[in-house]
Amino acid sequence: MTADAPAYFNGTFMPVSQVKVSPLDRGFLFGDGMYEVIPAFDRHFLDLEGHLERLDRCLQAIKIPNPHSIAEWRDICQHLIDADDATDTKVYVQVTRGVQSVRNHDFSGDESATVFAMCNAQSLPDPASIENGISLFTEEEIRWSNCHLKSTSLLANVLLKNASSVKGGAETLVVNSGRVVEGSSSNAFAVFDGEVHTPPNGKEILPGITRNLVIQLARDCGIHVVETELPLAEVLRADEVWISSSTRGVLAATRINNEPVGNGVPGPVWRRVHERYQAMVDELRSGG
C-alpha cells in the first residue's frame, strides 16, 4: 500500500497518509470496533452485500449504530476501488465507537462513530501455494467467546497466526476442546470419502462470507456438504483439508504439524471446488 492509496475517513475521501485518528478513539484504546475486508476483481466486488450485512450485524451486536446505510457503504466502497490503480483490490472497512474526552471503559451510547475505509491491491495466493498446497499447524484456542463477531480486537488471532509463521506454516488451525473450529484468519474444511465437513456457524467461528460461497460452490458441483464438528483426531486422518478466506479464496492444506494430509498433494474434491471458484472470479473480471 502506498501513502497516496485512496481512503475514506469520517465523511471525506483523502489519501490514506492524511488520515489522523485521535489517541482517545476507543478503537485505538480498547479495540472497540468492527471491520470487514471486501475483495474485488477488476473493480467488481465479490459478495459486497454479504460483507456489508455482516458488518451491520456485528455493529448491532456491540451497540454501535451503523453510520451508513448499505447503499451508502456501497457507494463509498465503489468510489475507493475506482480511485485505485490496481486491478484486483480489497477494501478494508473499520467502524469504532469513536472518541471520548477521557479514557473510560464504560460507554454512554452517545459517542459518534469513527469511520475509516481504505483500498489497496490484493495479495493473491502465489501459484505454488495453489498448486502444491500449504502447511498448517494447530494451536489451542486462546480467544474470547464471541468469535462470530468480526472485532478489531485481534491480538489473540495475531499470536495464533504467528505461532505457525515462525514454524514455516501459512495458517493456524485453532483447536477448542479437541475440535478444530477455524483458522486464525480463515474457515476450515475437511473431506472424508468425498464428503465435505465444516464446523457450523455459531459463537466459536466467524460466519465467513467466502465459507458460505465455498459451501454453495461445492453443492453446485454435486458434492455433499455437512456442517458438523471437526474433531482434531479426524482432521489429521482426513483425505483433504482446506481453508477459505476473502483474500485467499479456497486453498488446500497438504501438511498439518509437519505430517502429510491424505497423499500429500491437493485432492480432487478441492480441485473441483477451486475450479468453480476461479471460474467465478474470472467471470467477475470479465464484467459478469
In degrees rounded to 5, what are phi and psi of residue 124? -75, 150
Say if strands 171-176 and 134-140 run parallel, antiparallel, or are unpaired: parallel
Q: Does the annotation count 203 as an active-site position?
A: no
Q: Do the beta carbons of residue 223 and residue 269 sit within 8 Å?
A: yes
Burial class (CB in 10 A: 0-12, 13-18, 19+), 37: middle
Query: Grid coordinates in use for 111?
Result: 459517542
Residue that has been written with the C-alpha cell 469511520 in this structure: 115
Query: Residue 192's beta-bridge partner residues?
Result: 195
20, 63, 90, 150: the active-site residue: 150
Other C-beta atoms lying within 10 Å of the C-beta of residue 178: 11
> Residue 43, CB half-sphere, CA atoms under 13 Å: how many?
12
Q: Do the beta carbons of residue 163 and residue 127 sit within 8 Å?
A: no
Other C-beta atoms lying within 10 Å of the C-beta of residue 112: 11
Of the candidates 130, 129, 139, 131, the residue with the CA atom closest to the CA atom of residue 256: 139
Count each helix (H run) and each strand (E run) in the chain, helices first: 8, 16
Catalytic residues: 150
